[in-house]
Amino acid sequence: MLVAGANAGDDLAFEELFNRYRRHVAYTASRFFARREQIEEIIQDTFTKAYFALDSYHGTHEKSFKAWLTQIAVNSSYDQLRRARRRPEQALSDLNDTESHEIALQLRSAGRDIESALVSRDLAVKLLARLSAEDRLVLTLLDVEGFSVAEIAEMTSWSVSKVKVRAHRARAHLRRVLRRYL
Amino acid sequence: MANRQTDEQLDRAGRLVLRSATGSEAETEAAATSPFVFTRMRAAIAEEERRRNETGGWLSMFLVARRAVPAMALVAVLAAILTVWSAQLSAPSAPVQSDEEALFGTPAAGVEQTVLASRNGPSKDEVFNIVVDRNYGEGAK
């Protein structure tokens, strides 16, 4: 109903959709980005894309609209991750000796009780900046969000085998990155 | 066995790093409730609509031009056929070469030769005799 109204040009209906789903989009963005400005950028980008793609949405249930919006948010996050890797300031993501020592300590002290442990957010972000956007995307969706391979394939428009191969390579890459700290 | 254990340990550490790099609840809530996001999004939508309208004009012109390509090709082919056909109509028929021409070559331009060298006219020898006789007559005068 709201979607149909927004699609027909009803600005109030679109505003209602925005208010209803902005938290969900913010949550999806926060899986990939820690800073508030980055999350805001993803919210803005997601709803802008959704606005122009409303006529391609053919679902009828609220749940499917949420899934559709999640797909747009994930793809916006992926685009943002790729753009971030192309920026020159990415070189600043290298960890210095003190930071390397600190993250090694944090990872070792987490031990087996890793589910309740956390490492410093800034250090974790710097460490993950060494992964490609594809690696980061697939590992976050699999290991943080708990999506299945099929769900990720649908979300990213990749084939199931591509998701599996990408996940395997991403995991191997992350192991190589972490090996020096453990 | 040891390798497998190490991989598992590394995977657990990887999950920890991935989880730690996510935004905090406070940051996420602040971003979601920011009063400026909706305004910025409306501005982005307006900007995108303006851009689409601008490029839409060029795009429609391109589509019309693309539809006109077959018609233009047909007109070009018809024009070529007409040109060739009219050229064939106006072209003079090729002169038939006489036996004399084959033997003595193409005669030089001149009223006498043109008249005398016609297909049913006198032979080269006869022409030669006529000219000699005329010159002789003029000389005798």
CA-wise closest residue to B14 among A105, A176, A148: A176
Give how far A178 is from chain B: nearest CA, Å: 7
Closest-CA residue of A relative to B52 is A52
**Would you list the domain boundaries of chain B?**
30-89, 99-140
pLDDT in tens, A8-33: 888 899 999 999 999 999 999 999 99
Give the separation between CA B48 and CA B56, rounded to whole angstroms.
Answer: 12
Is the pLDDT score of B29 beyond 80?
yes
Closest-CA residue of A relative to B38 is A44
Is the pLDDT score of B117 beyond 90?
no
User: Considering the domain boundaries, does residue A37 fall inside one?
Assistant: yes
pLDDT, position A113: 59
- Tell me the backbone φ, ψ of residue B94, rounded to 5 degrees: -65, 130
Average predicted confidence (pLDDT) for chain B: 79
CB nearest A118 (choices: B20, B28, B34)? B20
Residue A6: give its domain's CATH number.
1.10.1740.10
Kindly compute the dihedral angle of the four CA atoms of residues A100, A102, A103, A108, in this order, to the nearest 10 degrees.
Answer: 120
User: Considering the domain boundaries, does residue A74 fall inside one?
Assistant: yes
User: Considering the domain boundaries, does residue A147 fall inside one?
Assistant: no
Give the separation between CA A122 and CA A8, rounded to whole angstroms.
Answer: 44
CB nearest A139 (choices: B18, B23, B37)? B18
Q: Which of B16, B24, B53 best probes binding to A when mutated, by most A CB atoms within 10 angstroms?
A: B16
Closest-CA residue of B relative to A15 is B38
User: Considering the domain boundaries, does residue A143 fall inside one?
Assistant: no
Give the separation between CA A146 and CA A161, rounded to whole angstroms.
Answer: 18
Is the pLDDT score of B115 beyond 60?
no
pLDDT (mean) for B128-136: 82
pLDDT, position A156: 92
pLDDT, position A125: 87
User: Considering the domain boundaries, does residue A9 fall inside one?
Assistant: yes
pLDDT in tens, A29-80: 999 999 999 999 999 999 999 999 998 888 766 668 899 999 999 999 999 9
Q: State the burial class of residue B14 (Cβ atoms within 10 Å of its Cβ: 0-12, 13-18, 19+).
A: buried
Residue A52's alpha-carbon distances to A10, A91, A141, B45, B46, in angstroms, are: 13, 35, 26, 8, 11
Whether B14 has its CB under 8 Å from any CB of chain A: the answer is yes
pLDDT, position B36: 92
User: Considering the domain boundaries, does residue A154 fall inside one?
Assistant: no
pLDDT in tens, A112-129: 555 556 678 888 888 888
User: Considering the domain boundaries, does residue A31 fall inside one?
Assistant: yes
pLDDT, position B79: 93
B110 Rama class: left (phi>0) / alpha (psi -120 to 50) / beta: left
Is the pLDDT score of A95 beyond 60?
yes
pLDDT in tens, B31-70: 999 989 999 999 999 999 999 888 866 666 777 777 788 8
Q: How many domains does chain A have?
A: 1
User: Considering the domain boundaries, does residue A136 fall inside one?
Assistant: no
DSSP B92: P
pLDDT, position A38: 94
Task: Name B125's Cβ contacts closer than 8 Å, sequence gap at least 6.
Answer: none
CB nearest B20 (choices: A119, A171, A178)? A119
